[in-house]
Chain A
Amino acid sequence: MIESEYQISFEELKEILQLIEKVHGYDFNDYAEASLKRRVTHIMNKLKLNIFDLKHRLVNDTHFFALFLNQITVNVTEMFRDPGFYRSVRENVIPYLASYPHIKIWNAGCSSGEETYSFAITLKEEGILEKSFLYGTDINSEVLDKAKEGIYELKKIKEYSTNYLNSGGKSSLSDYYHSIYDAGIFQSELRKKTLFSIHNLASDSSFNEFQLVVCRNVLIYFNEHLRNRVLQLFTESLCHLGFLCLGSKETLRNPQLLEQYKVIDRRENIYQKIV
């Protein structure tokens, strides 16, 4: 059974979040509550901290906050997760992107980079990696370090092979990495086309103009207010006729935002900015 000795109320959760904002400047107030509460109590139970101790550590121990930040974000990811999504990108987005002389892509909430490398491979196979550049951003510095290395467990990469082939992959995933013992490192050709850096969707502003913004499984953690803020940010960051890819679970449903886009794939939530 999961240890659940320490519990907090929603009010206590708010107190913790306000404390974090005051002391560390990170704003988690507009995250969806249920999952965040689960994360916080999970940390408390794992480290045997009651709310008093937790607050104390959050205020007085900088090292602890880094660990806390790393643990409350959900970083689960996969290469070519939802192969149908990548198929649609190949069919509906890439032919269009190909007409640009330079293609800039923002992968927001990229976690440890599996999604970013999946895109890089897709672009390479469609012959446009050469003129593309991918920016991967996340709030969690630890996963970004992993993304920068581009090294993953070989066992996991092998599991992604089926995803890759179902996504319309044209060769073999093993063509894109070298194995070193039980790890696989992605080719420098791919890595050199990526840049990973810290960016907080809850507070930071746009940092470039993009032809494509990909953000999947991140908006699910935000409440309606923050979600709209972030979608507004993406809209500002896209060039005219640029693409927004949200994936199968996150829909653009705010009417003010929706009227600025054309729906390209309703199932995979791929949109093209028309203003």
Chain B
Amino acid sequence: MCSTADIPTSALQPIELVVIGGSAGSMVVLMELMKSVSFFPIPIIFVIHRGKTSSFGTLAGIFQKANQEIKVKEAEEKETLSPKTIYLAPADYHLLVERDFSLSLDLSEKVWHSRPSIDVLFQSAADAGGKRTLGILLSGANADGVQGLQEIRKKGGLTIIQDPHTAEYPTMPNEALKAKAADYKLTPSKLERTFEKLKKVKLHF
């Protein structure tokens, strides 16, 4: 069952890694979310679909400008995930999480016509993090990320989709709903509340 209620603190307790995937229409939501990530105590990874031409510099720059109180960077291969950092997949590479929470790049074939692909990130995060993983799938016009979200759920992690009614392109969250891949279906403002809560949970120890 997919719930629309606020996520209870107990469910957030195990989370040590946040992976977020978005395609068409996800930038607005992510920009809003940037307000709630100051000093965020858990590493966050973004895979956002974009054209080959849009350079990384601008995208990371945009996010960094939205919030100076968290580091935003392009993921480098073999670097170990750190708290208070947002990692962006570099253009034209898949980004994967290893078991030791380091990052890998991969040039293999596109998935859903995309490289980086959300599915590839999510599946590796499910493998690497298991129940410590929180996967979030936002607005988008294809189904990339659905299977990965399901993997996270299967491995005991927590999964959230953007409420399709609030999504500019609802296909991606809708496909996740159909596949029963989501634990929670949240509006952008509830998603922000979840982030605030996650911050408090983690700062306790």
- Which residues of A have CB within 8 Å of B124? 34, 38
- Bound together, the chains give a CA A32 to CA B76 distance in angstroms of 14
A67 within 8 A of B: no
Inter-subunit contact A38/B120 (CB<8 Å): yes
Q: Closest approach, in angstroms, between the C-beta of B166 and any C-beta of chain A?
A: 25
- Bound together, the chains give a CA A164 to CA B147 distance in angstroms of 37
Q: Which A residue sits closest to B108, measured CB to CB?
A: A74
Q: Closest approach, in angstroms, between the C-beta of A60 and any C-beta of chain B?
A: 28
Q: Which of B90, B104, B143, B179 is the one whose CB lies under 8 Å from A32? A: B104
Inter-subunit contact A34/B97 (CB<8 Å): yes
- Which residues of B have CB within 8 Å of A1? 143, 146-147, 179
With A1-B143, A2-B147 in contact, is A220–B98 under 8 Å at CB? no
Contact with A along B105-141 (1 / 0, CB 8 A): 1111101000000011001100110000000000000
B17 within 8 A of A: no
Q: Which A residue sits closest to B104, measured CB to CB?
A: A32
B32 within 8 A of A: no
- Bound together, the chains give a CA A130 to CA B97 distance in angstroms of 45
A10 within 8 A of B: yes
- Which residues of A have CB within 8 Å of B99? 10, 33-34
B200 within 8 A of A: no
- Bound together, the chains give a CA A213 to CA B55 distance in angstroms of 28
- Bound together, the chains give a CA A224 to CA B80 distance in angstroms of 12
- Bound together, the chains give a CA A74 to CA B110 distance in angstroms of 12
Interface residues of A in 64-116 (CB under 8 A from B): 74, 76
Interface residues of A in 29-49 (CB under 8 A from B): 32-35, 37-39
Q: Which one of B104, B120, B128, B179 has the highest number of Cβ atoms from chain A below 10 Å of its Cβ?
A: B104
Q: Which of B104, B105, B120, B147 is the one whose CB lies under 8 Å from A4? A: B147
Q: Which residues of A contact B (CB under 8 A)?
A: 1-2, 4, 10, 32-35, 37-39, 74, 76, 217, 219-221, 224, 227, 249-251
Q: Which residues of B contact A (CB under 8 A)?
A: 76-78, 90, 93-94, 96-99, 104-109, 111, 119-120, 123-124, 127-128, 143, 146-147, 151, 179
User: Other CB < 8 Å A-B pairs besides A76-B107, A227-B78, 17 of them?
Assistant: A2-B111, A2-B147, A4-B147, A34-B96, A34-B104, A34-B128, A35-B104, A38-B96, A38-B123, A74-B106, A74-B107, A74-B108, A76-B108, A220-B104, A224-B78, A249-B90, A251-B76
A-B contact pairs, 6 of them (CB 8 A): A32-B78, A34-B104, A38-B108, A38-B120, A74-B107, A249-B77
